[in-house]
Structure 1
Amino acid sequence: MNIVIADDHPLFRSGVRNLLRTTEDLEVVGEASSGDEALELAAALQPDLILMDIRMPGLNGIEATRLIKERFPRVEVLILTMFQDDQSVFTAMRAGAKGYVLKDADETELLHSIRMVGSGGAVFSSDIAARMIHYFAAPKADVKADNPALAELSKREMDILERIAEGETNAQIASRLFISAKTVANNITTILNKLQVADRNAAKRLLKESREN
C-alpha cells in the first residue's frame, strides 16, 4: 500500500515513517508539509492512502481532503490529528475522509486504521466513535421542515447560515468549517439567492423565525 504522510511537523512525519518501515505491506512514497503539497503529491503519485493532519500552513487538511476526493476519488484519506471536536470530525467526514484517528493512538491502532481505510473501509478511534454515537443519538430540531426555502439549502450552506445566525464573520466561519473565505463568500451568495433575501441579516431573521415556529 503506497502512503503519503501530510503533516507540518517533521519529527511527527519521521516517527510515522519509521513505524511504517517496520511493516512489509505499507510503504511511504511521499511526504507533505502543507495541504497544497498533499494535493500536488496526490496528483503526481496517486497513492492508495494519505495520512492527513488538519492544521497545516496554506491549504488546511480538510480542504485538501475535499479537493483530493473530488479530483482523485480512488485516493483514500485518513485524518490523523489532535483535534477531536465535533465540528472537525464531521467536517472531515463530509470532505470525504474515511477515517479519523487521534495522534495519541498506539502503534497497533494506527497500523490497523491505515490498513482498514486503505482497503476501502472506515475507521474511527474509540473516543471519536463515542462522540459520533452521542451526536447522532441526540434529538435535533429540524428547522427546514416548516420552511421550504431552507429546505433548498445544502448541508454546507445550512452550516454557514447557522454560523451567520451566531454572528460570526466570514473569516470566523472559514476557520470553523475549514474552508476558504472565498468559499464562504460564494456560499453566502447562493444562500441569499435560494432564500430570496437581500442580505445576511434577512437570512438570519428567516432562520430565527423558522426556529420559533
Structure 2
Amino acid sequence: MTARIRIVLADDQAIIRDGLETVLSLVEDFEVVGTAADGAEAVALIAAERPDVALMDLRMPVLDGAAATRRVTAETPETAVLVLTTFADDADIVSALRAGARGYLTKDAGRAELAAAIRAVSAGQSTFSAPVRDVLLGRLDAPAGTAGAAGSRPAAASDAKPGGTGAEPVADPASPEALATRFPALTAREREVYALILQGRSNGEIAQTLFVGVATVKTHVNALFAKLGVRDRAQAIAKGLGRA
C-alpha cells in the first residue's frame, strides 16, 4: 500500500479548516494529522507532527502565514509548505516564496487541483495556480521599481521623453540575455532553462522546448540551483524576480 501524505491544515476560519479536512480525508493517499487556527499554533503542531505537507493560509492572527512558513522552513525543513489563501497580489506571493513556500494556490482552486498541488510539493516540486503564475509573469514583465503588471501605474506625461511617445520599451528581465547580465555564472543553456522556469514550465515542458531529455534538464536545473544558492523552483523564481 502506498504511504499516505500526512497533512497539517492552518487557517483561522473554522469553516475552511473543517471543509478542507473533510475534502482531503476522502482522498485515499492523504491523511490530515492536525489543524491549526493561527500561525504560532501551526508552527508548534508541525514541529510535533512532522507532516509531509502544511497547507498554510497567509492572513492569520498571532503569527501570519509568511512568518509561520519561515519558521517551518528553518525548523522543520522536511515539511513542504503549500500556501492556500484568498489573496494573489504580488506582495503576498513574493513574501511567501521568500519565506520558503513551495507552492501557492488561491482558495478558488478545485479539489483535483488542490490534490495535485499537495502531491507535487510533497514530491519536492513547486506549483502555482494560474492566477498566481499570471501575477509572477506580470511582475517579471514590469519595469524595475513598479509593482508588476497589475499594480503598475500608467505612464504620466512627465514620464514621456520630449518628442517621444512615452517611456522606452523595457527588456524582458527573464530573457536569457537579461539573465546573462544578472547571473553571469550561469552557462548559456542554464540561462535558457532558468528563463523557462521563470515562465512556470515543468521539466517535461522545458525538455520539449529545448529538444533535450528530461534527465538533461534535471542536470541543468540542479546546476543552476547550486549556482544561484537556492534549493527549489520557488526560491529560484523569487530570486529571478529580482527581489529575493
Normalised to the residue count of structure 1, the TM-score between the two structures is 0.65
Map of 2:235 onto structure 1:
none
Map of 2:14 onto structure 1:
10
Between the aligned partners of 2:22 and 2:49, the Cα distance in structure 1 is 20
Q: Mind listing any 5+ residue stretches in structure 2 that lack a counterpart?
A: 146-244
Asked whether 1:81 is paired with 2:95, we answer no
Between the aligned partners of 1:40 and 1:12, the Cα distance in structure 2 is 20
Q: Mind listing any 5+ residue stretches in structure 1 that lack a counterpart?
A: 142-213
Letter in 2 for 1:63: A
Asked whether 1:56 is paired with 2:60, we answer yes
Map of 2:33 onto structure 1:
29
Between the aligned partners of 1:75 and 1:114, the Cα distance in structure 2 is 11
Q: Please show how residues 19-168 of structure 1 align to structure 2 within 5 Å.
A: 19-140=23-144
Between the aligned partners of 2:25 and 2:11, the Cα distance in structure 1 is 18
Between the aligned partners of 1:138 and 1:61, the Cα distance in structure 2 is 26
Q: For residues 140-168 of structure 1, give each alpha carbon's deviation from its aligned partner in whole angstroms, at most 9, with x where no partner exists.
A: 26xxxxxxxxxxxxxxxxxxxxxxxxxxx
Give secondary structure in 1 for the equivalent of 2:34.
Answer: strand
Q: For residues 40-73 of structure 1, give each alpha carbon's deviation from its aligned partner in whole angstroms, at most 9, with x where no partner exists.
A: 0111011101000011110111100001101111
Query: Displacement, 1:138?
Result: 2.4
Between the aligned partners of 1:20 and 1:105, the Cα distance in structure 2 is 13
Between the aligned partners of 2:55 and 2:46, the Cα distance in structure 1 is 11
Between the aligned partners of 2:78 and 2:25, the Cα distance in structure 1 is 24
Aligned alpha-carbon RMSD (Å): 1.3
Query: Displacement, 1:11?
Result: 0.9
Give secondary structure in 2 for the equivalent of 1:30.
Answer: strand
Letter in 2 for 1:7: D
Give secondary structure in 2 for the equivalent of 1:51.
Answer: strand
Identity %: 44
Query: Displacement, 1:96?
Result: 0.2
- Structure richer in helix, relative to its length: 1
Query: Displacement, 1:118?
Result: 1.4
Give secondary structure in 1 for the equivalent of 2:7.
Answer: strand
Query: Displacement, 1:137?
Result: 2.4
Between the aligned partners of 1:49 and 1:108, the Cα distance in structure 2 is 16
Aligned residues: 142
Structure 1 consecutive aligned stretches of length 4 or more whose deviation exceeds 4 Å:
none
